[in-house]
């Protein structure tokens, strides 16, 4: 293969030549703002782009409507790039303004930057494909279009379908407010609906004939609140009442529903907590003489880090030429920062009034712990996963916020996305050029699993489903 410096230059040349196309794809996905398992347009625009670049694309991969896999090449090693493109509900926001201004009240928005995430990973795959053709190296490059990371566990369903079974290494990233190799564990999680069915009745004339499903939901929530003291300190219970039964207080509510999200460091701990929550729900049904139906929604495993792969990516993150920023970009970032909370502004002040983060943070000696969840965790149990976080927004921008959405089409975001494509492509090319490096990465992966094997909490009869919309009355 070419010298290392030439590889960086060639990767940059390829991606700069395709930058307009990639930016257009990212911005269109931002416009679509489709939520979990409804990313029809977002998935299709990426699939069409890959086909135009010479990839063979399998749509509806694993029987999942908005999942797809684009592949090029043949044989060992198989390098996978993981992409996402789902938005969040309730975060509609105009782009490029430092004022909260929804496009559509209550609409969707890319509050986690997945329009950038998917396109940046896809750009890396395209660059690697071009270099495979030019160098004649053996190997396979794939881009995995993964839906529903936001609460839908898309990769868990893809893992269940066996889509990662022959992958050797997976690479991905996440938009962020700093540049770093991600080297930390994350929480496992699951989401479960609890639906109660009772009997309606006139609340004044015949309340004794009614059986309130809303009472059952409230009693379940009270029981879960008492449970919180008696689960492991790292465990978390979140809930949302997704159906309160209606708008009429003079009716005994016959139907009500609550959605629970459970988190813990290990999937086995999530499972244990879930069984206790189920018992509480059953008790609430007994107390109210209502019927209970439990419907599993989604699950994500805890994330397994890999230091050997992380250090390899760190080298390329430091060696790839990072973006510089204009005065206009700094001005916009400062304007957005002025809308932050007191706590976020304190963080900025603590970090020397940083506006846009540059440079690369050191690789941590030991893996940290991040109190979030991702379905990348499911893939990390099957194959070694390397992940970077790259600056795409003003420093200290809160995620899942309108401030993140408004920056999603900015030149700051575009620069971070293209920088990511270059870094991940360079890391992949080193692995393709020196496949013997995979032995050490895979050996660490096996050691980190500690003899455990991957398993998902998702029941066999559970299918991927869009987010439930709030009922109108």
Per-residue pLDDT of the chain (473 residues; tens, 9 = 90+): 654 679 999 999 999 999 999 999 999 999 999 999 999 999 999 999 999 999 999 999 999 999 999 999 999 999 999 999 999 999 999 999 999 999 999 999 999 999 999 999 999 999 999 999 999 999 999 999 999 999 999 999 999 999 999 999 999 999 999 999 999 999 999 999 999 999 999 999 999 999 999 999 999 999 999 999 999 999 999 999 999 999 999 999 999 999 999 999 999 999 999 999 999 999 999 999 999 999 999 999 999 999 999 999 999 999 999 999 999 999 999 999 999 999 999 999 999 999 999 999 999 999 999 889 999 999 999 999 999 999 999 999 999 999 999 999 999 999 999 999 999 999 999 999 999 999 999 999 999 999 999 989 999 999 999 987 655 43
Q: Are 139 and 435 in contact (CB under 8 A)?
A: yes
Could you give the CA distance from residue 379 to residue 326 in angstroms, rounded to a whole number?
A: 38
Q: Are 46 and 85 in contact (CB under 8 A)?
A: yes
Q: How many residues does the chain have?
A: 473
3-state secondary structure of 51: helix
CA 303 vs. chain centroid, Å, equals 12
Bridge partners for 239 per DSSP: 260
The token duo for 156 is 């868990």
Q: Are 432 and 132 in contact (CB under 8 A)?
A: yes
The ranges assigned to domains in the chain are 4-185+302-449, 188-300
Q: Are 104 and 92 in contact (CB under 8 A)?
A: yes
Q: Are 3 and 434 in contact (CB under 8 A)?
A: no
The token duo for 321 is 């030429």
- Report how far apart the first and last C-alpha atoms of the chain are (Å, whole number): 64
State the alpha helices, DSSP H only, in 264-326: 267-288, 307-319
Q: Do domains 4-185+302-449 and 188-300 have the same CATH topology?
A: no
Could you give the CA distance from residue 361 to residue 280 in angstroms, rounded to a whole number?
A: 45
Identify the CA nearest to 304 among candidates 461, 440, 168, 185: 185
Bridge partners for 184 per DSSP: 368
Phi, psi of 58, rounded to the nearest 5 degrees: -105, 110
Could you give the CA distance from residue 108 to residue 90 in angstroms, rounded to a whole number?
A: 5
What angle (nearest 5°) sits at the alpha carbon of residue 238, between those of residues 455 and 178? 80
The pairing of beta strand 255-264 with beta strand 385-391: unpaired
The DSSP code for 96 is S
* CATH code given to domain 4-185+302-449: 3.40.630.10
Q: What is the architecture, at CATH level 2, of domain 188-300?
A: 2-Layer Sandwich (3.30)
3-state secondary structure of 238: strand
The token duo for 430 is 């080193």
Q: Are 67 and 17 in contact (CB under 8 A)?
A: no
The half-sphere exposure of 80 on its side-chain side, counting CA atoms within 13 A, is: 23
Bridge partners for 368 per DSSP: 184
Burial status of residue 265 (CB atoms within 10 A of its CB: 0-12, 13-18, 19 or more): middle
């Amino acid at each position: 293969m070419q010298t290392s410096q030439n590889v960086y230059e060639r990767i940059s040349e390829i991606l700069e030549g395709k930058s307009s196309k990639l930016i257009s794809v990212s911005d269109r996905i931002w416009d679509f703002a489709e939520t979990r398992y409804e990313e029809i347009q977002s998935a299709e625009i990426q699939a069409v782009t890959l086909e135009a670049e010479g990839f063979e694309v399998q749509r509806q991969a694993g029987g999942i409507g908005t999942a797809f896999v684009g592949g090029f090449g043949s044989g060992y090693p198989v390098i996978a790039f993981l992409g996402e493109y789902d938005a969040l509900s309730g975060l509609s926001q105009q782009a490029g303004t430092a004022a909260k201004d929804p496009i559509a009240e209550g609409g969707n928005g890319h509050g986690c930057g997945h329009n950038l995430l998917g396109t940046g990973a896809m750009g890396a795959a395209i660059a690697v494909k071009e270099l495979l053709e030019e160098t004649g190296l053996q190997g396979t490059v794939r881009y995995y279009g993964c839906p529903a990371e936001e609460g839908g566990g898309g990769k868990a369903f893809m893992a269940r379908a066996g889509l990662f079974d022959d992958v050797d290494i997976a690479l991905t990233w996440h938009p962020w407010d700093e540049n770093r190799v991600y080297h930390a564990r994350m929480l496992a999680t699951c989401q479960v609906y609890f639906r109660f069915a009772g009997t309606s009745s006139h609340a004044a004339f015949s309340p004794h004939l009614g059986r309130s499903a809303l009472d059952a939901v409230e009693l379940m929530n009270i029981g879960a609140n008492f449970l919180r003291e008696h689960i492991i300190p790292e465990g978390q219970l979140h809930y949302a009442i997704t159906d309160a039964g209606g708008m009429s207080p003079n009716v005994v509510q016959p139907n009500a529903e609550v959605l629970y999200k459970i988190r813990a460091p290990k999937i086995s701990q999530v499972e244990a907590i879930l069984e206790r929550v189920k018992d509480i729900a059953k008790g609430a049904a007994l107390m109210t003489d209502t019927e209970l139906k439990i419907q599993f929604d989604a699950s994500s495993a805890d994330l397994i880090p890999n230091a050997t792969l992380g250090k390899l990516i760190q080298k390329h993150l430091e060696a790839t030429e990072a973006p510089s920023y204009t005065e206009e970009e700094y001005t916009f970032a400062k304007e957005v920062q002025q809308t932050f909370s007191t706590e976020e502004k304190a963080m900025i002040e603590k970090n020397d009034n940083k506006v846009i983060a540059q440079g690369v943070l050191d690789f941590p000696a030991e893996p940290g712990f991040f109190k979030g969840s991702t379905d990348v965790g499911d893939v990390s149990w099957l194959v070694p996963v390397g992940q970077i976080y790259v600056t795409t927004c003003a420093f200290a921008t809160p995620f899942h916020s309108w401030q993140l959405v408004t920056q999603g089409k900015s030149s700051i975001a575009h620069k971070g996305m293209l920088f990511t494509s270059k870094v991940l492509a360079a890391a992949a090319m080193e692995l393709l050029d020196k496949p013997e490096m995979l032995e050490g990465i895979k050996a660490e992966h096996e050691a980190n699993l500690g003899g455990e094997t991957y398993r998902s909490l998702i029941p066999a009869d559970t299918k991927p489903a869009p987010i439930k919309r709030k009922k109108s009355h």
